Structure formats: structure tokens, C-alpha cells
């Protein structure tokens, strides 16, 4: 569900259920809300429509405010960044094929360990400064390879068991080479797709420290930074940001792409991201004419389908979406400053594989599909997307957890759990099984999932305290304080290359969400335990990245999927269809689950309403 630009698919980001423009996750609403007029002063679709008549613009919605405009340090999906920054290569949103970006061409050595990129002539940053090989080398050597700057990019660029980085050198006025220390299958995709950042703007931040002794870069380009100071190379630049209202992007006059007649692209002058606050509000805005694109979730698919002609839009179906939805328990057994991250009693439950398997069996995913997704979804059984050639199927040995309450009860009994006279589940020491399940408030699909899972687990005698919480609070719990017990979330952005999720499965990855280690600058975690299966998956991901033979790569990733499903650190739930409603005034849409509705924003045009 991340945005159309290729770099956003290179590495898994935690997907908070926000609303990027590729295909947006909307959610169920009460019938009453469908006729409520927009009352939010900052999100007036009439005003936006009036402005749109004057300036060609695309308007989409996102659930919450961004935490930063600094891509390397951000951990949540930020739809603006993929419009503001690009890499050496891009990805065709319908085929997944790599195509030229900032680099006009590339050469790969016979051993596939050396790639030489040739930059286009005359590249410029949005402020008019030349974009050169020095920017490429700075971005990798001084930011992504910098141990003081933890990022998802650095996770996936590490090669081999020792985690060495490729060597990045200048070999000509416009040539830069990447040399891998050993075979690394996704080198082209990763090196080519990661965003290039401006040396002339950010070098001072990288090479100086603040009062805390950390690089000033970690706090650079925050949401309070004047837009004119954020220098970009993508199709759009930041014009303005109003918290809780909108992000306005405007066409980058120095973007490299032109059409066959030499006209600058993109054609659409502005790109507006409304901060909707909730998916209910986003739906109302779309139906009121204030948005150009909206994700159509199954619960209101029939309603929206009936409105296609009258509302002057079309619903596109790209098949299963390239995203995951899961329930995860906090398996971290460590402590911070002498205090356990998780209550030791609950930690013992969560770290019992039979307990996790029992929960997986007890969740009626078909009922989730029928009740919440209105049948427009399929059970999700693997962390690797169905579209990937590396996805393992149940027919080929992938373990699955079809609803089986008896099997769930049997597993709990094997692990020493018992049901008391009141029908509540207790562990061997008599402690009643009760935990808190969180997700991001405002995402009605996830709120509905949590409510039904609470009901399903009650049949086992488990008490679930379900608490949707504010987006930024959730981010803080999962990436900073680590004081959570269970959550419903998802990942997106890995694409069809499985190594894109290595930062999720690496035991030291920045998105190893179920057993997160301390990140750079955080207080250390004492007593963190890495399970054998957890380490095995981590090692296999390294092996998979090193293997150049495709059949052998498939065998390696098949084993990672079997282990992931056997030990279920993520209990996968439902894979929804990728459905988006797009106004007919947006011309040139090439919709797919991989790219979404607006991946080719550079060639889209906005027609005037009739």
C-alpha cells in the first residue's frame, strides 16, 4: 500500500493502515456517516475543488500526520517522500521491471558483484544545484552506511553474515560503481532503488553532532522545517504542511523527466495529501468530491460500485494487495534499566510456541473474510506476497492454520494451560490468561479485526483487552519504549523480492517487530533472547541474498516461510484485494496491485470536470 515510487518498495515499513495514494485502505462506516456533510475546517472538499479548477492537482488522503520528512530515519510509511525523492532506477508499476531513473543506464559484471551506473546529463536538485555522482556517494557512504544513522535502508544493504556494505566509488564524471564484497542477488534492485539525497544541503547535518552527541541529521528535516529547506529530486517538492490538515506538494521544476515532445513532467502541478484523521472521514471526502483516489475496502464495495457512474469514478481491482495484516505478540524477554519490557508471566505465554499456534487456530479467518471483508479477500498464510515467484503455497508444504478450536484447545493443554470452573483459561501456575491487544485508532478494518479476534479468543477462555490507540503513540511503543503485549498491524513495501523484508527477519533489523532490539541511541536491552528458529530465519535471509541461482533461492525462502508459519511470530490474517476508486478526470491510470493507481504520476493528466 505504499506509494508509486520504486524506493518505497525496497524495504518493509511498518504499515499503520494509513492511506497512501497507490491503493488506499479505507474502512467500514456507519450508514449515518454516509450522509454527513464535511465539518472539518481543514478538510473542506469544496474549497479543494475550487482550487483544483485553477491549478491541476491530485488530491488523496492519509490517516495521520507524518513524523518527519527525513526518509532514512522514518519508520512509518510517508506518502509524500516517494514523490519528493527518487533513486538511480525506478520500477514499472505493472510489470515490476527495473527502468532508468536518475541513471540512464547500468552495466553488470559477469560475476554480478559489480554494477556501474551512468547518471543522466544535466541532473539538478529542486533548488537548481547540480545533482552529481558526489550526491550518490554521499547518500550511501555517509548516510545509509553510517552506523550512527539507523535505517531500514542500511538493513537491506548489508551483505553476508558479517553484514558488510558494498563499496561505492566514482569511476567517471557521471559513473558510479557498486562493488559487493560477495555475491548479492538483490544488489541492482536495492542500490538502484534507494533515494539519493543532497550532499550540499545535508552534509553539515551528517558531519556534526548535537548536544546529545548524536548526528544532527537524526533531527534534520522534521515536520517543522521550512519547506524551502527540503531539497528534492523527485517529481514534486514540499510546498506546505499544515498539521492535522494537509501536505501540499508542487511540481519540481528541475525534475529530469520530459515527454517525447520535450515537455516537462509531471503534467499535474500539485499533489495534495489530506490528513483525514479517520477512514470514515476519507470516505466522506471522496463521496463529496474532495478526493481523486480512495481505497475501496470490501465492506462498502457494493455501495461504491453502485455510485461509479453518478460519482464519475471507476473502481480498479488489482487482485490480492501487496501487503500483510497480522497479529503479533511481544516475544522480547529482555529488560531495560532493570524493568522487564513484558510482564514475565505473560512473556512466558507469548514465548510458548503452542500458545501462539493455538491463537492462530482459534482465529476464524473465514469469518473475518465474510464479515469484515465481505468475501473480497483470501486467507493470508505467508509473509511473502502471493505475486512473488518465491511464495510457497500450502500445496507445496506451507503450514496453515485453518480454524480449528479443538486443535487450539489441545495445544494449550499440551503446554500446561487449563480451563477453570468459570471457563477462563489459566496457566500451570493458575494465572488467568489476559493481555492487551492494540492497533491504530481510525483504521476501522483493524478495529473490526480486533473486536472479532477478541470474541474468537474468548471461546478459549482468553480475555483480550482491545485498545485502538493514537498513531504516534503506537509508533512510539513499537519502535522506542517496546512496552506492548500484542498488536494488529501489517507490513508493506517489500515488493516481490523477498530480501526486501530482511530488515524484518534479521535479528538485528530495525523492523524485527516481534523481538525488537535496541536501536542506535536507545538505552540497551539486557537479557534479550534470540530463539533458535529466529536465528535460523535470519541466517537463511542472508543465504538467500547471497545465492544467485534462482531455484536455490526459492528453496531457501521456502524454508523461511515454513519456519515462520511453524513458529508464528506473526499470525497472518487476511489478504484483502487491492481495490481503488479513481476519478475519471484522472487520465492515464495503469492500475495494479504492485503500483497502485498513481505509480506513473509523471504521465497522468487531470481533466476538468464536465
Query: 3-class secondary structure for 368-417?
Result: HHHHCCCCCEEECCCCCCCCCCCCCCHHHCCCCCCCCHHHHHHHHHHCCC
**51 or 387, which is more confident?**
387
Element holding 554 (H helix, E strand): helix 550-567
- CB atoms inside a 10 Å sphere around CB 241: 22
Residue with cell 473502481: 315
- What pLDDT does 414 receive? 97
Distance CA 602, CA 597 (A): 12
CATH for 6-86+213-319+577-606 (3.30.300.30, 3.30.9.10, 3.40.190.10, 3.40.50.1980):
3.40.190.10
Element holding 350 (H helix, E strand): helix 344-350
Residue 570 has pLDDT above 90, yes or no: yes
Quick one: what percent of the chain has pLDDT higher than 70? 91
At how many degrees (to 10) do helices 444-458 and 353-362 cross? 110
- What pLDDT does 609 receive? 63
Span 233-272, pLDDT tens digits: 999 999 999 999 999 999 999 999 999 999 999 999 999 9
Distance CA 605, CA 589 (A): 9
Residue 55 has pLDDT above 90, yes or no: no
Residue 2 has pLDDT above 70, yes or no: no
Residue 49 has pLDDT above 60, yes or no: no
- What pLDDT does 610 receive? 55
What's the rounded mean pLDDT across residues 325-336?
97
- What pLDDT does 386 receive? 86
What's the rounded mean pLDDT across residues 479-483?
92
Which of 475-484, 526-535, 581-590 is least confident?
475-484
Residue with cell 503506537: 474
How many residues in the chain?
610
Does the 326-572 domain belong in CATH 3.10.105.10? yes
Q: pLDDT tier at 493 (50, 70, 90 boundaries)?
A: low
Residue 118 has pLDDT above 80, yes or no: yes
- What pLDDT does 346 receive? 98
Own/partner pairs, 213-220, CB within 8 angstroms, 24+ separation: 214/148, 214/521, 215/146, 215/148, 215/149, 217/70, 217/73, 217/143, 217/149, 218/70, 218/73, 218/149, 218/521, 220/70
Beta strands in 321-387 (DSSP E): 326-329, 335-336, 339-340, 377-379
What's the rounded mean pLDDT across residues 315-319?
93
Distance CA 249, CA 270 (A): 6
Q: How confident is the prediction for the chain on average, in pLDDT?
A: 89
What's the rounded mean pLDDT across residues 368-383?
92
- What pLDDT does 535 receive? 98
Residue 106 has pLDDT above 90, yes or no: yes
Residue 599 has pLDDT above 60, yes or no: yes
- What pLDDT does 45 receive? 46
What's the rounded mean pLDDT across residues 203-222?
95
**502 or 566, which is more confident?**
566
Residue 5 has pLDDT above 60, yes or no: no
Which of 140-144, 502-506, 533-537 is least confident?
502-506
Residue 221 has pLDDT above 50, yes or no: yes
Span 580-596, pLDDT tens digits: 999 999 999 999 988 89
What's the rounded mean pLDDT across residues 272-278?
92
pTM for the model: 0.73
Residue 29 has pLDDT above 50, yes or no: no
Q: Considering the domain 90-203, what is its CATH architecture?
A: Alpha-Beta Complex (3.90)
By DSSP bridging, strand 313-320 and strand 574-583 are antiparallel
Distance CA 250, CA 239 (A): 6
Residue 162 has pLDDT above 90, yes or no: no
Residue 281 has pLDDT above 80, yes or no: yes
- What pLDDT does 6 receive? 34
Span 446-475, pLDDT tens digits: 999 999 999 999 999 999 999 999 988 998
Q: pLDDT tier at 510 (50, 70, 90 boundaries)?
A: confident
Residues 6+ away with beta carbon under 8 Å from 211: none
Map out the domains of the chain as residue ranges. 6-86+213-319+577-606, 90-203, 326-572
Which of 11-25, 39-53, 118-132, 534-548 is least confident?
11-25
Short-list 436, 438, 440, 424, CA closest to 464: 436
By DSSP bridging, strand 377-379 and strand 605-606 are unpaired
Residue 42 has pLDDT above 60, yes or no: no
Residues 6+ away with beta carbon under 8 Å from 396: 558
Distance CA 121, CA 103 (A): 9
Residue 36 has pLDDT above 70, yes or no: no
Span 61-87, pLDDT tens digits: 998 899 999 999 987 778 999 999 999
Amino acid at each position: 500500500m505504499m506509494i508509486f515510487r520504486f524506493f518505497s518498495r525496497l524495504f518493509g515499513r511498518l504499515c499503520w493502515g494509513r492511506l497512501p495514494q497507490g491503493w488506499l485502505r479505507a474502512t467500514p462506516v456507519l450508514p449515518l456517516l454516509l450522509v454527513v456533510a464535511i465539518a472539518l475546517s481543514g478538510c473542506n472538499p469544496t474549497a479543494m475543488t475550487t482550487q483544483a479548477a485553477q491549478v491541476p492537482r491530485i488530491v488523496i488522503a492519509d490517516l495521520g500526520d507524518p513524523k518527519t520528512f527525513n526518509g532514512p530515519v522514518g519508520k512509518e510509511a510517508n506518502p509524500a517522500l516517494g514523490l519528493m525523492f527518487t533513486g538511480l532506477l525506478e520500477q514499472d508499476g505493472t510489470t515490476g521491471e527495473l527502468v532508468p531513473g536518475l541513471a540512464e543506464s547500468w552495466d553488470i559484471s559477469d560475476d554480478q558483484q559489480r554494477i556501474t551506473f551512468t547518471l543522466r546529463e544535466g541532473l539538478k536538485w529542486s533548488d537548481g544545484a547540480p545533482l552529481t555522482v558526489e550526491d550518490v556517494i554521499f547518500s550511501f557512504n555517509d548516510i545509509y552506511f553510517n552506523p550512527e544513522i539507523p535505517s531500514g535502508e542500511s538493513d537491506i544493504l548489508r551483505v553476508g553474515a558479517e553484514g558488510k556494505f558494498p563499496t561505492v566509488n566514482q569511476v567517471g564524471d557521471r559513473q558510479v560503481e557498486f562493488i559487493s564484497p560477495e555475491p548479492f542477488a538483490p544488489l541492482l534492485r536495492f542500490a538502484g532503488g534507494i533515494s539519493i539525497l543532497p550532499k550540499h544541503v545535508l552534509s553539515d547535518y551528517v558531519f556534526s553532532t548535537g548536544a546529545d552527541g548524536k548526528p544532527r541529521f537524526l533531527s534534520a528535516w522534521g515536520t517543522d522545517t521550512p519547506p524551502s529547506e527540503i531539497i528534492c529530486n523527485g517529481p514534486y517538492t514540499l510546498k506546505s504542511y499544515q498539521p492535522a490538515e494537509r501536505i501540499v506538494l508542487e511540481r519540481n521544476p528541475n525534475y529530469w523527466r520530459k515527454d517525447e515532445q520535450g515537455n516537462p513532467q509531471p503534467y499535474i502541478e500539485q499533489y495534495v495529501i489530506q490528513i483525514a484523521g479517520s477512514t470514515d472521514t476519507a470516505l466522506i471526502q471522496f463521496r463529496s468530491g474532495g478526493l481523486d483516489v480512495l481505497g475501496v475496502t470490501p465492506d462498502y464495495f457494493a455501495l461504491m460500485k453502485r455510485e461509479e457512474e453518478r460519482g464519475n469514478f471507476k473502481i480498479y481491482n488489482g487482485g490480492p494487495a501487496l501487503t500483510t495484516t497480522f497479529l503479533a505478540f511481544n516475544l522480547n524477554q529482555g529488560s531495560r534499566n532493570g524493568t522487564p519490557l513484558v510482564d514475565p508471566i505473560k512473556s512466558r505465554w507469548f514465548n510458548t510456541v503452542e500458545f501462539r499456534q493455538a491463537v492462530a487456530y482459534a482465529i476464524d479467518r473465514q469469518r473475518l473474510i465474510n464479515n469484515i471483508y465481505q468475501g473480497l479477500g483470501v486467507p493470508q498464510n505467508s509473509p511473502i506476497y502471493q505475486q512473488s515467484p518465491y511464495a510457497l503455497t500450502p500445496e507445496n508444504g506451507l503450514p496453515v492454520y485453518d480454524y480449528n478450536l479443538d486443535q487450539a484447545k489441545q495445544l494449550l493443554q499440551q503446554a500446561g494451560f487449563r480451563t477453570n470452573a468459570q471457563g477462563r483459561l489459566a496457566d500451570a501456575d493458575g494465572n488467568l490468561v489476559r493481555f492487551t491487544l492494540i492497533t491504530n485508532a481510525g483504521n476501522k478494518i483493524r478495529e473490526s479485526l480486533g473486536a472479532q479476534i477478541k470474541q474468537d479468543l474468548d471461546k478459549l477462555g482468553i480475555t483480550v483487552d482491545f485498545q485502538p490507540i493514537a498513531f504516534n503513540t503506537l509508533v512510539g511503543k513499537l519502535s522506542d519504549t517496546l512496552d506492548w503485549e500484542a498488536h494488529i498491524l501489517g507490513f508493506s513495501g517489500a515488493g516481490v523480492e523477498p530480501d526486501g523484508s530482511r530488515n524484518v527477519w534479521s535479528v538485528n533489523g530495525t523492523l524485527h517487530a516481534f523481538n525488537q532490539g535496541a536501536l542506535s541511541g536507545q538505552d540497551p536491552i539486557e537479557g534479550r533472547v534470540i530463539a533458535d528458529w529466529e536465528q535460523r530465519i535470519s541466517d537463511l535471509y542472508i543465504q538467500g541474498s547471497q545465492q544467485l541461482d534462482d531455484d536455490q533461492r526459492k528453496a531457501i525462502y521456502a524454508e523461511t516461510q515454513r519456519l515462520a508459519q511453524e513458529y508464528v511470530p506473526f499470525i497472518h490474517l487476511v489478504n484483502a484485494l487491492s481495490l481503488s476508486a479513481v476519478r475519471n478526470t484522472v487520465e492515464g491510470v495503469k492500475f495494479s496491485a504492485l503500483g497502485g493507481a498513481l505509480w506513473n504520476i509523471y504521465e497522468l493528466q487531470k481533466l476538468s470536470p464536465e
